[in-house]
């Protein structure tokens, strides 16, 4: 479950969910850790939590939060599982890392990878893991500088300035990374302080036939039989501080790591998840839902479908291309299916009608009091006018995001823009050399996983779709010229563009960088194309035209949220996800997806053999795994009935960014890794459905079974703290926190 690509206007509208319409469900909500004591602790204890809020989040002592890491600033979540920096996350989160070390000769994607000693671990270039140090409420400081009648542009400028000041103050001269984030539609503000480690190494990964078992067919589906996990290790300098990769670095000793439960899960067990959910739109208005259903989602699905089709053709024909494009294909595919499921869910659950009903109730409440009318009266009108005014720009903006950036040559050419600016001042050699280095570094990584023929096919199709479906008023000049000159033969045009572009190969990029000139760069057809479609059109014309409507929506949502919180002052609220650490809690349990159907809360290895299909790459079962299953050689990891549990579901509330998040029992022990949601509740990022919403997790005992019995990596098992509860219950002593 990856962070979905959402347009900027939607991201800034991420708002808090009102929990007063139908009552509070224990499993609904992505709660801020510094609010647990005040809002959630009592209810969580009633459901089975044995820890205190202080055991989970503390700035004065080690706590559970210290074991939870943020990968690459919010891409995924990781967790510490040993005193030696051993870290667990999803297979799909480490997919780039696995792919980057794979080749036809050493195909770790197909065969898996296991380091039997720390010396065998592989450095992961570009991966960072950040740990939360503390959360500070800076709402008063920010709001004191804002006024009611302040224009949105001025308001945002003040917020940016204050955020920079706060970040600088809390960073301690660069020791920490600090993010100041807005919550509840821009009504509250919090500063998040992190320490970021840059030396991360790949330790273990099962073959894709385990880590991706079921592939696109099973993606977002239950029942599931996927061992979606991988292992990393975080390294630090001798003093435990962040450091660039070095052979002299040592495994990071965390303030806390997660003990691992060997007891498994039962129906109705308490379960909580900590992680970094990326983005939800739970307070998206009825106008926003309509826009998503009418324009944005079907457009993204259509474009991504074509990209997938063309990539798959070449991947099936060539093993080298398959390896190069494996990660790219997975990234496009994940949310291609997601958008289809979300549209289906929004329609089936009548979310538009529910949103409209909420807005009507809000307007009726506002109308009863002149002061409310003065304060909140324009909220829904601002939203209505903002969405109606911005509607003509949604399709071209979506096409730029999906189609223009579907072309790899254009995504590389955009890196030349900084160099073009530097070359305008030939006397500033520092700027020029810096821009050259950035482009050279980007080109090296770009061409490692690149196939010219595939990019040509995709680029031609993306240009064709843009030309056919976007109004000509939003066609960049290069597209108009190409259509006229080549009479709609996009393959012929793209062949010529690639032939003349310096961005077609690493050799031509490096030859240009040896003696770069502004004239050559500006004459390059790929650079001209991305400059016109992105800088001139997208961030220029379209951004300016839609800007006034975005400001209307931004203010409308801020007023709506503030008004709803006042209207239901006795109800608890949680803010929308925004890549900050959150906790969700609930229960393990089954669900009814449709009339006459009931899904159990666990799956077993029996289902792996039932799904096996040697002719389908998504359902191939490794011979050794099949042998272990058939002989029931599960070691200490089977349940009391001798079954090997693979996955389980719970009613926790997660989204993209939670991938890899630890699922914990009431004692704070690791019982699984969250990796997906279920198809029936794909509308969940906009509207949570308590009867349907489920989190799919891989059982930690299946993870241990694969590491131990399949891979034979007992060296890794020995690092972990495995906990087996006694048959007779004993008094539980708090806190269960381990400090190192």
Phi, psi of 266 (to 5 degrees): -125, 160
Place of tokens 């979310």: 351
Reply yes or no on whether 659 is catalytic: yes
* DSSP assigned state of 21: S
Q: State the catalytic residue, choosing from 27, 91, 92, 225.
A: 92
Give the integer Cα–Cα distance in Å for 54 and 735. 9
Active site residue 225: no
Instruction: Give the phi and the psi of residue 349 in degrees, each rounded to 5.
Output: -90, 5
Of 483, 476, 480, 493, nearest to 532 by C-alpha is 476
Structure tokens at 655: 């989204």
8 Å CB contact between 652 and 697? no
> d(Cα 580, Cα 582) in Å, to the nearest integer?
6
Active site residue 256: no
Retrieve residue 592's tokens. 């009814």
Helix axes 452-469, 477-486, angle to 10 degrees: 100
Instruction: Give CA torsion, residues 134, 140, 141, 143, to 10 deg.
Output: 130
Can you tell me which residue has the tokens 């996800």?
A: 577
User: In this structure, are residues 668 and 15 in contact, taking their beta carbons and an 8 Å threshold?
Assistant: no
C-alpha angle 241-244-250 in degrees, rounded to nearest 5: 55
Q: What are phi and psi of 422, to 5 degrees?
A: -65, -40
Q: Choosing from 659, 661, 683, 697, which is the catalytic residue?
A: 659
Handedness of CA 442, 443, 447, 453 (dihedral sign): positive
Q: CA-to-CA distance for 286 and 360, rounded, in angstroms?
A: 11
CB-based contact 90:83 (threshold 8 Å): no
Strand ranges for 124-167 from DSSP E:
129-137
Main-chain dihedrals φ then ψ at residue 694, nearest 5 degrees? -140, 145
- Of the candidates 179, 199, 228, 314, the residue annotated as catalytic is 228
Which residue, among 81, 72, 64, has the nearest Cα to 229 in the 3D structure?
81
- d(C-alpha 709, C-alpha 703), whole Å: 10
DSSP code, position 599: B
The backbone torsions φ and ψ at residue 646, rounded to the nearest 5 degrees and listed phi first, read -100, -55
User: Running DSSP on this structure, what letter comes out for residue 4?
Assistant: P
Calculate the alpha carbon distances from 548 to 288, 392, 551 in Å.
16, 13, 5
CA 278 to CA 280: how far, in whole Å?
7
Active site residues: 92, 228, 659
């Amino acid at each position: 479950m990856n962070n979905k690509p959402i347009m900027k206007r939607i991201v800034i509208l991420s708002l808090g969910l009102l929990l007063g319409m139908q009552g509070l469900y224990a499993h609904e909500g992505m709660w801020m850790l510094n609010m647990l004591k005040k809002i959630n602790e009592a209810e969580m204890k009633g459901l089975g939590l044995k820890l205190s809020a202080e055991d989970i989040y503390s700035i004065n002592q080690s706590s559970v939060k210290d074991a939870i890491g943020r990968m690459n600033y919010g891409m995924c979540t990781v967790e510490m599982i040993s005193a030696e920096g051993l870290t667990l996350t999803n297979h799909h989160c480490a997919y780039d890392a696995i792919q980057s070390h794979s080749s036809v000769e050493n195909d770790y994607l197909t065969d898996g990878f296991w380091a039997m000693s720390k010396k065998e671990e592989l450095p992961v270039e570009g991966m960072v893991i950040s740990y939360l140090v503390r959360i500070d409420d800076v709402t008063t400081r920010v709001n004191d500088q804002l006024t009611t009648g302040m224009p949105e542009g001025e308001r945002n400028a003040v917020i940016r300035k204050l955020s920079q000041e706060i970040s600088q103050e809390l960073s301690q001269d660069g020791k920490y990374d600090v993010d100041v984030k807005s919550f509840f539609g821009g009504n509250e503000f919090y500063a998040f302080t992190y320490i970021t480690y840059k030396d991360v190494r790949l330790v273990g990964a099962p073959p894709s036939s385990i880590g991706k078992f079921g592939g696109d067919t099973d993606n977002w589906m239950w029942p599931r039989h996927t061992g979606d996990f991988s292992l990393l290790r975080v390294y630090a300098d001798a003093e435990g501080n962040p450091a660039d990769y070095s052979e002299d670095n040592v495994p990071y000793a965390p303030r806390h790591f997660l003990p691992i439960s060997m007891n498994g899960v039962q129906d109705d067990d308490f379960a909580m998840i900590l992680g970094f959910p990326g983005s939800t739109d739970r307070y998206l208005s009825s106008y926003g839902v309509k826009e998503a259903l009418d324009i944005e989602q079907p457009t993204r699905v259509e474009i991504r479908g074509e990209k997938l089709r063309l990539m798959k053709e070449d991947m099936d024909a060539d093993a080298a291309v398959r390896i190069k494009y494996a990660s790219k294909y997975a990234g496009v595919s994940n949310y291609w299916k997601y958008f289809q499921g979300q549209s289906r869910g929004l329609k089936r659950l009548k979310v538009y009608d529910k949103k409209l009903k909420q807005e009507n109730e809000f307007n009726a409440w506002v109308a009863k009091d002149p002061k409310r009318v003065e304060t909140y009266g324009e909220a829904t009108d601002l939203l209505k006018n903002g969405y109606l005014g911005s509607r003509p720009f949604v399709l071209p903006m979506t096409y730029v995001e999906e189609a223009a950036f579907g072309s790899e040559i254009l995504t590389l050419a955009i890196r030349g823009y900084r160099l073009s600016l530097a070359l305008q001042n030939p006397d500033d050699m520092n700027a020029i050399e810096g821009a050259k280095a950035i482009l050279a570094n980007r080109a090296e990584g770009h061409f490692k996983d690149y196939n010219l023929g595939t990019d040509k096919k995709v680029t031609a199709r993306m240009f064709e779709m843009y030309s056919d479906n976007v109004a000509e008023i939003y066609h960049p000049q290069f597209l108009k010229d190409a259509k006229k000159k080549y009479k709609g033969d996009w393959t012929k045009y793209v062949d010529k563009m690639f032939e003349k572009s310096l961005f077609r190969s690493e050799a031509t990029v490096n030859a240009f960088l040896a003696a770069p000139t502004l004239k050559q760069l500006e004459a390059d057809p790929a650079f001209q194309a991305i400059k016109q479609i992105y800088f001139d059109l997208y961030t220029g014309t379209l951004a300016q035209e839609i800007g006034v409507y975005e400001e209307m929506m931004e203010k409308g949502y801020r007023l709506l949220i503030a008004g709803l919180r006042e209207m239901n002052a006795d109800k608890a609220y949680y803010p929308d996800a925004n890549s900050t650490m959150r906790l969700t809690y609930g229960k393990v349990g089954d669900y009814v997806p449709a009339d006459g159907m009931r899904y159990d809360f666990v799956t077993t290895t029996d289902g792996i053999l039932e799904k096996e299909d040697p002719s389908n790459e998504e359902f191939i079962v490794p011979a050794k795994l099949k042998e272990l299953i058939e002989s029931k050689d599960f070691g200490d990891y089977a349940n009391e009935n001798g079954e090997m549990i693979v996955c389980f579901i719970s009613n926790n509330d997660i989204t993209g960014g939670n991938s890899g998040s630890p699922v914990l029992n009431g004692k704070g022990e690791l019982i699984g890794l969250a990796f997906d949601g279920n198809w029936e509740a794909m509308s969940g990022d906009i509207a949570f459905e308590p009867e349907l919403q489920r989190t799919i997790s891989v059982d930690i005992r299946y993870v241990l079974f694969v590491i131990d019995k399949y891979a034979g990596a007992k060296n890794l098992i020995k690092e972990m703290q495995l906990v087996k509860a006694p048959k007779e219950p004993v008094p539980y002593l708090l806190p269960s926190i381990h400090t190192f």
